Chains A and B, each alone.
Chain A
Amino acid sequence: MLWLFAGSIGLLMGGGAYLVLRAHGFSVVLGLMLLTYATNLFVFASGGLQVGRAPVQVPAQTGGNAIELMADPLPQALVLTAIVIGFAMTALVLVLILRALSDLGSERVDAQPMGAAPSEPQVGEALPEQGQPDACQPDEFRPSESQLGESQAGEEEP
């Protein structure tokens, strides 16, 4: 059981990491969900894997269990908290992606803002990075910088 459990956590983690690194918002949400599941299972296992043991103490009159035969209740409580938080976070990310979809016109995580805010200098031509289809993660930070650089250069020339 130990190997099955560890293997499933590894599989979930690997799948989650792969999906989070994809460029599409929906894949990222799925990836985050898998990562959260893997983490929850991991936390659950931190109390030791036991079968058929209750996390509460049953009174002796009803054929109770000794404290030694109790499952560790703390990780279960932690997992419950973590599940709730993970659920809320996933909902939040979904809302943010929908928001980004309406603001940016694309659900890709590396989408560029369409047109700049009125106070900012206009960025003229399309950025070179936009041609690369799946280069999300390494480029995540670059577009905004290159955008700033270009806008500055464009303004200083005249």
Chain B
Amino acid sequence: MSLLLILPLALPLGLGAWLFARSGMPLRQQRRLSLMGALGQLGAAVGLLALAVDGQIAATLIGDWPVPYGIVLAADRLSALMLSLTSALALAAIAHLSLSAADTERSGRHFHALLQLQLFGLAGAFLTADLFNLFVFFEVLLIASYGLLVQGGGPARSRAALHYVVLNMVGSSLFLMGVALLYAVTGTLSLAELSDRLPELAPDQAPLAGTGLLLLTGAFALKAALVPLHAWLVPAYSAALAPVAALFAIMTKVGVYALLRLFALMPIGDALSDAALAERLLARLPIQTVIATGALLTLAVGAVGVVVAAELRTMVAYLILVSVGTLLAGVAAGTAEGIAAGLYYLIHTTLVTAGLFLLIDVISQGRARGSWLQPAQQPPAAAWLGALFLLGALAIAGLPPLSGFVGKALILEAVQDASVAGSGSGPDWMLSWTAVLGSSLLVVIGLSRAGIAIFWQGPPSTSIASGRGAYAPTAAALLAASPLLALFAAPIAGYTQALALQLLDGEDYILAIRGLEPVDPPSAVTEAVAKSIHGGPS
């Protein structure tokens, strides 16, 4: 069990370091190693997922330090799901790179090393059970992502990367301050201990903890690209190489993941009805309202962006914004149903937007006008690519037969239920319905315009599709997830429902981490320190 938890971290870290040291290795060989690393990570992630399906929480002590000091890795249902998504995306991104000759030329020598370090950071962020280590892994994945973003060079990428780095550094400062505030009042940074100690804070310390939680919300909202903190997303995603952009589809979801963990720390939802808790400041923090309002704004900005985008990559970047808004609209309901619906939508939107990034890469390589939405000769294999584009568009817009529809329907239902039951403190459900449905309409219009410009306005291609990548097999594989998600909607929604309950309850997580025993008994000194620290937070 502990091997399953360590492997998704150790494998990409070791491989990344090895690839950095041997950067003279031929690209083909690097790609093969990188692919094998991602496969290994996927294997471990699926193993964790299999454990998590039964509600088991895998946890392990790194370095055998007893619980309150050592680094703890833990995988509950949420972590296992996010980790599996990450490795699946990485696999598709690397495979896409090996199929498309142009990208191989554009990517630098360190591409695969950076990609592995990015996977290390992502896996660490999803598996760590400690707020400070979450910060460290955020930095790891951000540093790697800066490197990945500028792959291929060019002024647009340099400019986008600079803005991205500066904004994220400011966000990291806020994150660290929030962490420090929480440590100052609770004396712990473990997620499990925090969720235990926060509700029992003295009244004079609650404002400090509340400030810390709000700072963390700000930092995570920046990562999740919640409007008005979204400015970095569109330039960065539309400038990155297609495989990088596809992998980045999980990056905004890291922010959503961190927000969910934050939610689990706070007494929300059902706990609000408890009069004793509601009197305390923590229970009245406006985090839910902030996220709900931000989600509606994100939906509006994203949908308008999709309609006015002049270029396909920009359009898909705005689609990511729309999807973040939609899933946070569900999550902000604060109920288990809302979080479950949001997470079902998260699986769908991560895979489909990544697939669209890979698909439009193939499309724009076959057109004279690239990814610009101007009439030009159709790309080779237009019938097949057009069908894939239609599939992706239907899925992301949320039209009936596919998973987007299921996800949006679940979210709308959850938002209405939460609002009617009065447990949601967000905007009225009618507002959310208008935003989600209105944005879907605008997305349909925008994507129709794109489809018409690419596949209908312009003569058929004179060149014949050549090369293994011309039929976009990796994009097809990712987009095929949408009908599958719709077909197996019941078991998957059941899993996310169980996930949301496990997350909001939090009891299992605390017990799993507290129950960890080091292999060697702790020494007398650590015991003494433990006693003095457990005496109470200073």
Asked if A3 lies at the interface with its beta carbon under 8 angstroms from chain B, I say no
Interface SS majority for chain B:
helix
B179 partner, pick from A43, A88, A148, beta carbons under 8 A: A43
Interface SS majority for chain A:
helix
B532 partner, pick from A39, A68, A103, A141, beta carbons under 8 A: A68
B531's nearest neighbour on chain A, judged by CB, is A67
Complex CA distance for A85 and B179, rounded to whole angstroms: 15
B153 partner residues in chain A, CB cutoff 8 A? 103
A148's nearest neighbour on chain B, judged by CB, is B310
Interface residues of A in 27-64 (CB under 8 A from B): 28, 32, 35-36, 38-39, 42-43, 45-48, 57
Q: Mark B304-319, 1 if CB is under 8 A from A, else 0.
A: 0000111100100000
Q: How far is the CB of A55 from chain B (nearest CB, A)?
A: 12
B183 partner residues in chain A, CB cutoff 8 A? 46-47, 74-75, 78
Are A104 and B159 in contact, with the CB atoms below 8 A?
yes
Are A43 and B308 in contact, with the CB atoms below 8 A?
no
Complex CA distance for A144 and B233, rounded to whole angstroms: 12
Complex CA distance for A75 and B186, rounded to whole angstroms: 13
Asked if A140 lies at the interface with its beta carbon under 8 angstroms from chain B, I say yes
A93's nearest neighbour on chain B, judged by CB, is B165
Interface size on B, residues (CB 8 A): 49
A102's nearest neighbour on chain B, judged by CB, is B158
Complex CA distance for A58 and B144, rounded to whole angstroms: 40
Are B166 and A104 in contact, with the CB atoms below 8 A?
no
Complex CA distance for A93 and B136, rounded to whole angstroms: 18
Interface residues of B in 157-174 (CB under 8 A from A): 158-159, 161-163, 165-166, 169-170, 172-173
Q: How far is the CB of A85 from chain B (nearest CB, A)?
A: 5
Interface residues of A in 80-131 (CB under 8 A from B): 81-82, 85, 88-89, 92-93, 96-97, 99-100, 103-104, 109, 111, 113-114, 117, 119-121
Are B173 and A36 in contact, with the CB atoms below 8 A?
yes
Complex CA distance for A97 and B164, rounded to whole angstroms: 12
**Interface residue stretch chosen among B18-26, B277-285, B291-299, B368-376:** B368-376
A152 partner residues in chain B, CB cutoff 8 A? 310, 373-374
Asked if B156 lies at the interface with its beta carbon under 8 angstroms from chain A, I say yes
Are B310 and A113 in contact, with the CB atoms below 8 A?
no
B69's nearest neighbour on chain A, judged by CB, is A74
Q: How far is the CB of B137 from chain A (nearest CB, A)?
A: 11
Asked if B528 lies at the interface with its beta carbon under 8 angstroms from chain A, I say yes
Complex CA distance for A72 and B189, rounded to whole angstroms: 14
Q: How far is the CB of A136 from chain B (nearest CB, A)?
A: 10
Asked if B150 lies at the interface with its beta carbon under 8 angstroms from chain A, I say yes
Asked if B202 lies at the interface with its beta carbon under 8 angstroms from chain A, I say no
Interface residues of A in 133-153 (CB under 8 A from B): 140-141, 144, 148-149, 151-152
Q: How far is the CB of A155 from chain B (nearest CB, A)?
A: 5
Q: How far is the CB of B307 from chain A (nearest CB, A)?
A: 12
Are B161 and A96 in contact, with the CB atoms below 8 A?
yes
Are B369 and A96 in contact, with the CB atoms below 8 A?
no
Are A78 and B146 in contact, with the CB atoms below 8 A?
no
Are A155 and B162 in contact, with the CB atoms below 8 A?
no
B372 partner, pick from A36, A81, A120, beta carbons under 8 A: A120
Given A46-B180, A72-B538, A140-B231, A113–B156 Cβ distance below 8 Å?
A: yes
Are A88 and B150 in contact, with the CB atoms below 8 A?
no
Asked if B525 lies at the interface with its beta carbon under 8 angstroms from chain A, I say yes
A151 partner residues in chain B, CB cutoff 8 A? 310, 372
Are B166 and A32 in contact, with the CB atoms below 8 A?
yes
Are A92 and B165 in contact, with the CB atoms below 8 A?
yes
Are A42 and B374 in contact, with the CB atoms below 8 A?
no
B184 partner residues in chain A, CB cutoff 8 A? 45-48
Complex CA distance for A113 and B153, rounded to whole angstroms: 12
Are A43 and B180 in contact, with the CB atoms below 8 A?
yes
Are B180 and A114 in contact, with the CB atoms below 8 A?
no
A40's nearest neighbour on chain B, judged by CB, is B176
Q: Mark A4-23, 1 if CB is under 8 A from B, else 0.
A: 00000000000000001000
Are B170 and A32 in contact, with the CB atoms below 8 A?
yes
Q: How far is the CB of A61 from chain B (nearest CB, A)?
A: 14
Are B156 and A48 in contact, with the CB atoms below 8 A?
no
Complex CA distance for A144 and B156, rounded to whole angstroms: 9
B314 partner residues in chain A, CB cutoff 8 A? 148
A152's nearest neighbour on chain B, judged by CB, is B310
B538 partner residues in chain A, CB cutoff 8 A? 48, 72
Complex CA distance for A89 and B138, rounded to whole angstroms: 12
Asked if B519 lies at the interface with its beta carbon under 8 angstroms from chain A, I say no
B179 partner residues in chain A, CB cutoff 8 A? 43, 78
Q: How far is the CB of A13 from chain B (nearest CB, A)?
A: 9
Interface residues of B in 370-393 (CB under 8 A from A): 370-374
Q: How far is the CB of A97 from chain B (nearest CB, A)?
A: 7
State the A residues within 8 Å of B (CB). 20, 25, 28, 32, 35-36, 38-39, 42-43, 45-48, 57, 67-68, 72, 74-75, 78, 81-82, 85, 88-89, 92-93, 96-97, 99-100, 103-104, 109, 111, 113-114, 117, 119-121, 140-141, 144, 148-149, 151-152, 155-156
Q: List 24 A-B pairs, Cβ < 8 Å.
A: A20-B166, A28-B166, A32-B169, A35-B170, A42-B176, A45-B180, A46-B184, A68-B532, A75-B180, A85-B136, A89-B169, A89-B172, A92-B146, A93-B165, A93-B166, A96-B150, A96-B161, A99-B150, A119-B369, A121-B369, A144-B234, A144-B235, A148-B311, A149-B308
Q: Nearest 4 CB-CB pairs, A to B? A: A113-B155, A119-B370, A46-B180, A152-B310
Given pairs A89-B169, A109-B166, A152-B374, 19 additional interface contacts (CB within 8 A): A32-B166, A32-B170, A36-B169, A42-B180, A43-B176, A47-B184, A57-B525, A75-B180, A89-B143, A92-B165, A103-B153, A113-B154, A113-B156, A119-B372, A144-B234, A148-B309, A148-B310, A148-B314, A155-B374
